[in-house]
Amino acid sequence: MPIWLQRQKYLIDFTLASLLRRRAKNLGLLLVYALIVFALASVMLYTHALRHEAAHVLAGAPEIVLQRMVAGRHDLIGEEHIARIGQVRGVQTKAGRLWGYFYDPAVKANYTLMVPPDREIAPGDAIIGAGIARTRGLSAGDYLTLRGSDGKAHTLRVAGLLDARSELVSSDLVLVAEPFFRAFFGIPAGQYTDVALRVRNAQEVRKVAEKLTLLLPDTRPILRDEVLRTYDAIFNWRQGVVAVLLLGAILAFVVFAWDKASGLSAEERREIGILKAIGWETSDVIRMKFWEGAIVSLTAFLLGYLAAYAHVFLADAALFEPVLKGWAVLYPRFALVPTVDGLQLATLFFFTVFPYTVATIVPIWRAAITDPDTVMR
């Protein structure tokens, strides 16, 4: 083994012995340090996985959704509007969508009633999402009664359930036939909730939206990019909210670690004095203390990160779930797909391991360059 490596090995050996002499104090520090890394890494892994999932799933959403606005609020859009869109170049397909909300007082939650564009559903039948089926205790062949806009009870036969694997987007959906939807909400023929547009060339989407705003000034185009950005922003925001909640704990740790790392106890000061008196060079003392900082912070980082990974992807983030997920009566059940962003991990490493290691070296350097006799006194 080269002498340099041999030397580092002996230094590590000495450092470990020195750390073990103050066992309780150093184990306490390691535990708190690992807990801080655990909390930060859990939030980071959870939000990254949710963001990744949202972006992947919503990638197939319509490029543009066009809403009609009346007095600043979303209103029904008529066929004449849809016909006028035909004049805009770049629009591949356009289709009026029929969807709306129904508040069910029985479970105190909103359902999303929707007419599927390409799926045949018999009038009086419904295909429901797994969240509704679970909350109302329904399965195929059961009946679901809802009170329509005319005040009468409308009964739907549950013809089937949507695939539970798609629950993240379909938990509260009720797919119904067009005649039922119009009768239930009292929406006249030729009127739609909004219009979904497919644009062939992704680079033209913004231009098409711009043309639409000029052609139909009473409408508001919502681009798929904006939809994706909305979800990106939500999860960033939540990550921030949790980080703020953790801030107190992080600051307490910073003060604690700084005090531990930068302030030298009389015992440590004496130890340095003795080492120098028996012939250790200043650089050796600094190297030894560097190893001390590195051992503590690296072990804490690895333990904290591994615990966070297990917490988020094996235990479904049980500790942070209520804040990060939010809640709802019809909350979808889904297990997150693990995704680890190497860059995020590197950032976390830099901000947790690096400052502590540096903080341990500076005061040691100050103590190590002074005369052993002065230090020991």
Partner 1 sequence: MSRTDRFLWLMAVLALATALTFVDATLRSHEASPRLATSAALVQELGLTDLALFTEARYTRHLSQADLHTAFQDHPLAFEHFPSGSLLAPPAHLFPTRHADLAAATEVPD
**Of residues 313-372, which lie at the interface with partner 1 (CB under 8 A)?**
313, 323, 325-332, 335, 337-340, 342
Q: Which of 110, 262, 282, 370 binds partner 1 (CB under 8 A)?
A: 110
C-beta closer to partner 1: residue 73 or 377: 73
User: 252-269 burial, b if ≥16 CB within 10 A, otherwise e?
Assistant: ebeeebeebbeebeeebb
Least distance to partner 1 from the beta carbon of 145, Å?
19
Least distance to partner 1 from the beta carbon of 46, Å?
13
> Cα(282)–Cα(116) distance, rounded to whole angstroms?
76
Does position 309 interact with partner 1 (CB under 8 A)? The reply is yes
**CA dihedral sign of residues 6, 293, 243, 329:** positive
C-beta closer to partner 1: residue 156 or 196: 196
Least distance to partner 1 from the beta carbon of 232, Å?
10
Least distance to partner 1 from the beta carbon of 52, Å?
9
CA proximity to 146, closest of 176, 119, 115, 117: 176
Least distance to partner 1 from the beta carbon of 361, Å?
20
Q: Long-range contacts made by residues 288-291, C-beta under 8 angstroms, separation at least 24?
A: 288/11, 288/14, 288/15, 288/18, 289/15, 289/360, 289/361, 289/364, 290/357, 290/360, 290/361, 291/8, 291/11, 291/12, 291/15
Per CB under 8 A, which of residues 42..71 are in contact with partner 1? 53-54, 56-62, 65, 67
Phi and psi of 102, rounded to 5°? Answer: -135, 120
Does position 129 interact with partner 1 (CB under 8 A)? The reply is yes
The residue count for binding partner 1 (CB under 8 A) is 97
> Cα(286)–Cα(272) distance, rounded to whole angstroms?
10
C-beta closer to partner 1: residue 138 or 234: 234
Per CB under 8 A, which of residues 141..160 are in contact with partner 1? none
> Cα(273)–Cα(296) distance, rounded to whole angstroms?
23
Least distance to partner 1 from the beta carbon of 366, Å?
28
In whole angstroms, how far apart are CA 19 and each of 12, 22, 30? 10, 6, 11
Binding segment toward partner 1, per CB under 8 A, in 108-116, 271-279, 352-360, 361-369: 108-116
Binding segment toward partner 1, per CB under 8 A, in 178-186, 215-223, 256-264, 355-363: 215-223
On whether the CB atoms of residues 218 and 70 are closer than 8 A, the answer is: yes
Task: Name the helix (H) or strand (E) containing 308.
Answer: helix 282-309
C-beta closer to partner 1: residue 312 or 375: 312
Least distance to partner 1 from the beta carbon of 218, Å?
12
Per CB under 8 A, which of residues 8..37 are in contact with partner 1? 9-10, 12-13, 16-17
Per CB under 8 A, which of residues 223..252 are in contact with partner 1? 225-227, 229-231, 233-234, 236-238, 241
Strand, coil or helix: 125: strand
Binding segment toward partner 1, per CB under 8 A, in 140-148, 184-192, 202-210, 244-252: 202-210
Per CB under 8 A, which of residues 160..179 are in contact with partner 1? 162-163, 165-173, 175
C-beta closer to partner 1: residue 187 or 376: 187
Q: Which of 18, 22, 35, 116 binds partner 1 (CB under 8 A)?
A: 116
CA proximity to 32, closest of 259, 218, 335: 259
- Phi-psi label, residue 293: left if phi above 0, alpha if psi -120 to 50, beta otherwise: alpha
